[in-house]
Amino acid sequence: MKLLRDTWLIFERQIQLLLRNPVWVFVGVFQPVMYLLLFAPLLKPALNAPTQAAAYKIFVPGLLVLLAIFGGLFQGFGLIAELRAGVIERSRVTPVSRLALLLGRSLRDVVSLIVQAVIITLLALLFDLRVFIGDLLLAYLMLALIALMTSAVSYGVALKVKSEDALAPLMNTVAQPVLLLSGILLPLTFAPGWLQGIADWNPFSWAVDGTRALFAGDLGNDKVWQGLSIIAVLAAAGVVWAARQFARSVR
Amino acid sequence: MIETRGLRKSFRSRAGRETKTVDAVRGVDLTVAEGEIFGFLGPNGAGKTTTLRMLATLIEPDGGEATIAGADLRTDPAEVRRRIGYVAQGGSTWDESTAREELVLHARLYGIGKAEAHRRAARALDAFQLTEYADRKCKTYSGGQRRRVDIALGIIHEPKIVFLDEPTTGLDPQSRAHMWDEIRRLRADGMTVFITTHYLDEADALCDRIAIMDHGEVVAEGTPAELKREISGDVVLVGLDAAATPQAAEVLDTEPYVNKLETGDEGGLRLYVDEGATAIPQVLRRLDHAGLDLRSIELHRPSLDDVFLTKTGRSLRES
Ligand SMILES: Nc1ncnc2c1ncn2[C@@H]1O[C@H](COP(=O)(O)OP(=O)(O)OP(=O)(O)O)[C@@H](O)[C@H]1O
Ligand SMILES: [Mg+2]
């Protein structure tokens, strides 16, 4: 199928270029490891958790969702560089599927996120975190959907604004409230009512709750399917919108 | 091969709080025949790139229609894409990729299989003398080498028509001459080549036919020779000392074969005549008779710049 073939071609190239860049490997792997090693020890007392493993069950899913959101949101910068080099325009004169131009790139982002997530999970296992494999895979699906959505949106916005100067403040403005209102770093259990009320409108808050439920082994929790469905719908909408930007972008 | 009628495009741009509309292309009618090198000559901002981008399906025209290699631009842009190649003005290669990788990927985006894509890439690298650098990152190439990769990318799928937006801008004279040879070779292979340029000599020497564009409109179209022939007569440049110039002007102004006479800024005269070859001996005799010393005399055939000058009132060199 043309879409699959085209997506694979773009994905293959993007992965190739990614692996060629040692900076990425450093940032992508070491940064989350630092979080885990340097931030996590503060957690047990802060969260008032009975054991270190219990603290990890709360913190690790939050960290992973955070990585998925930020990993995706800032991918647009790379696209602007490609835009400037003329690579996007060169692709757009070929009959390649416009959806593939987006999906190939977003899939690279998803794959690199999942690699990060696996590394972090393995490390956390050393610290006595225990997760059932089926739950873990569902949690990864949630992360993949989040990264797909945020990177697609970032690409779409990059094609619209076409300059790093506009993209950076825009993404920061989006990311900050999303981060604060999702209970990513600390659960919102102790938040005052009004804060809870706002957080209910933040889709990422649902995603974090769902992921935490999965890490807690609570597959039957409503938050799981609710989080997954909300993020899946948003990811689909993000992809459709961003692919349209690829089809019509001017210069 | 290409037929356009009334192609139009305007851009809205924001400067501060005001929005201004720029009519980049205002009604372009063109006919490009199969197998020719067609040149689009015009100063900066004339609308050359905008026209090309419309023909290459990158931006949608505001109005007008075009048929390209038998496919309708409006109703079947996908088919147009399959039949054309396009090389952008600003380049199209990625710093961290190699020329070979770029060529293989680009071929594959046109639906060509892996093995065949590698074969074509090797052939293109060879044809454009890039084999030596093929597996080095593009960021290490010189400007000329990089430009050659751009062109190789544009024709990797053997299109019927290729659009080259300023293929020789920024190249040294030798690389330019090479590029001209490459472009002529494309024509020899049966390709129709549509280039844009703001070099007069390039339009004159390389192109079979040209269209001169200014302010979004085509102001003249034809072979370089036809266009120059439209400008009647020749120009004779008479070199004189500044002191002798006024007297010489007085003497020559009354001669019947001089249609018009202009005085140069630093002395010397510009005579517009019907036939340079017969005028020159008469000028020499007349000046000799008046006892005026001549420093030089030059016959100047009309150039494309003179064509541009008569059509727009400006010189392409100045703009
Ligand atoms: N995306 C755009 N938005 C706004 N204005 C544009 C855009 N693209 C082109 N223009 C304007 O349209 C006009 C024609 O531009 P175009 O790039 O077609 O000129 P050109 O003939 O290719 O010039 P050059 O020789 O400098 O490449 C210019 O005034 C330019 O500023
Ligand atoms: Mg241009």
pLDDT in tens, A224-236: 898 899 999 999 9
- On the CB side of A104, CA atoms within 13 Å amount to 28
The whole-number average pLDDT for the span B299-315 is 77
Q: Please say whether the beta carbons of B149 and B130 come within 8 A.
A: yes
Mean pLDDT value across chain B: 88
Query: What pLDDT band is residue B318 in, cutting at 50, 70 and 90?
Result: low
Greater confidence (B247 vs A103) lies with A103
Six token digits for residue A151: 């990177």
Q: Which atom of ligand 1 is nearest to the CA of B53?
A: 18
Question: Which of the residue ranges A2-6, A215-219, B177-181 has the most confident prediction, judged by mean pLDDT?
Answer: A2-6
Residues with CB under 6 A from ligand 1: A 250-251; B 11, 13, 22, 24, 42, 44-50, 89, 198
Kindly report which listed range (A191-205, B114-128, B173-187) carries the lowest average pLDDT score: A191-205
The whole-number average pLDDT for the span A56-77 is 88
Contact A85 B95 (CB under 8 A): yes
Q: Locate the chain B residue with the closest alpha carbon to A250.
A: B59
In-domain check, residue A45: no
The total of structural domains in chain A comes to 1
pLDDT value for B94: 94
> What is the DSSP annotation of A53-118?
HHHHHHHHHHHHHHHHHHHHHTTHHHHHHHHHHTHHHHHHTS---HHHHHHHHHHHHHHHHHHHHH
CATH of span B234-301 = 3.30.70.920
Contact A94 B106 (CB under 8 A): yes
CA-closest candidate to residue A230, choices A212, A213, A205: A205
pLDDT value for B87: 95
The whole-number average pLDDT for the span B96-104 is 95
Distances B316 to A67, B310, B312, B319 between C-alpha atoms, Å: 56, 11, 9, 5
Q: Which of B22, B169, B218 to mutate to test the pocket of ligand 1 (most atoms within 8 A of CB)?
A: B22
Contact A13 B93 (CB under 8 A): no
User: Considering every ligand atom, which ligand is closest to the CA of B12?
Assistant: 1
Residues of chain B positioned with their CB less than 8 A from the CB of A9 = 105, 108-109
Cα gap A10→A106, rounded to integer Å: 10
pLDDT value for B317: 66
- Is residue A174's pLDDT more than 60? yes
Q: Locate the chain A residue with the closest alpha carbon to B89.
A: A86
Six token digits for residue A122: 């393995």
Q: To probe the interface with B, which of A2, A5, A24, A94 has the most B CB atoms within 10 Å?
A: A94
Ligand 1 centroid, distance to B45 Cα (angstroms): 5
Greater confidence (B50 vs B169) lies with B50
Distances A25 to A6, A51, A77, A186, B305 between C-alpha atoms, Å: 26, 32, 18, 28, 56
Instruction: Name the DSSP letter for residue A184.
Output: S
The whole-number average pLDDT for the span A168-194 is 78
The identity of residue B156, as a single letter, is I
pLDDT value for B186: 92
User: Considering every ligand atom, which ligand is closest to the CA of B59?
Assistant: 1
Greater confidence (A53 vs A118) lies with A118
Q: Locate the chain A residue with the closest alpha carbon to B82.
A: A95
Contact B96 A13 (CB under 8 A): no
- Is residue A130's pLDDT more than 80? yes
Six token digits for residue A79: 């696209």
What element of type H or E holds B195?
strand B192-197
Mean pLDDT value across chain A: 87
What element of type H or E holds B4?
strand B2-15
- Decide: residue B17, CB within 10 A, 0-12 exposed, 13-18 middle, 19+ buried: exposed
The CATH fold assigned to B2-93+141-224 is Rossmann fold (3.40.50)
Residues of chain A positioned with their CB less than 8 A from the CB of B153 = 90
In-domain check, residue A119: yes
pLDDT value for B32: 93
Q: Locate the chain B residue with the closest alpha carbon to A247.
A: B58
- Is residue B279's pLDDT more than 60? yes
Residues of chain A positioned with their CB less than 8 A from the CB of B162 = none
Supply the range of the domain harboring residue A216.
2-34+51-248
Interface A–B counts its CB contacts (< 8 A) at 58
Instruction: Please indicate if any CB of chain B lies within 8 Å of the CB of A114.
Output: no
pLDDT value for B293: 83
Query: What pLDDT band is residue A250 in, cutting at 50, 70 and 90?
Result: low
pLDDT value for A9: 96
pLDDT digits (tens, 9 = 90+) for B37-66: 999 998 888 999 999 999 999 999 999 999
How would you label A16-38 residue by residue, b for 16+ Cβ within 10 Å and e otherwise? ebbeeeeeeeeebeeebeebbee
Backbone angles phi, psi at B30, to 5 degrees: -140, 150
Ligand 2 centroid, distance to A155 Cα (angstroms): 26
- Is residue B100's pLDDT more than 60? yes
The whole-number average pLDDT for the span A82-100 is 93
Instruction: Please indicate if any CB of chain A lies within 8 Å of the CB of B85.
Output: yes
In-domain check, residue A39: no
pLDDT digits (tens, 9 = 90+) for B104-143: 999 999 999 999 999 999 999 998 889 999 999 999 998 8
pLDDT value for B305: 77
Q: Which atom of ligand 1 is nearest to the CA of B25?
A: 14
Contact B88 A94 (CB under 8 A): no
Domain ranges of chain B: 2-93+141-224, 234-301
- Is residue A175's pLDDT more than 90? no
The whole-number average pLDDT for the span A95-120 is 93
pLDDT value for B111: 93
Closest C-alpha to ligand 1, atom 11: B24
Residues with Cβ < 8 Å from B98, sequence gap 6 or more? B134, B135, B136, B137, B138
Q: To probe the interface with A, which of B103, B105, B147, B153 has the most A CB atoms within 10 Å?
A: B105
pLDDT digits (tens, 9 = 90+) for B223-265: 988 888 777 678 888 888 878 888 888 888 888 888 878 777 6
Looking at chain B, the whole-number percentage of residues with pLDDT higher than 70 is: 98
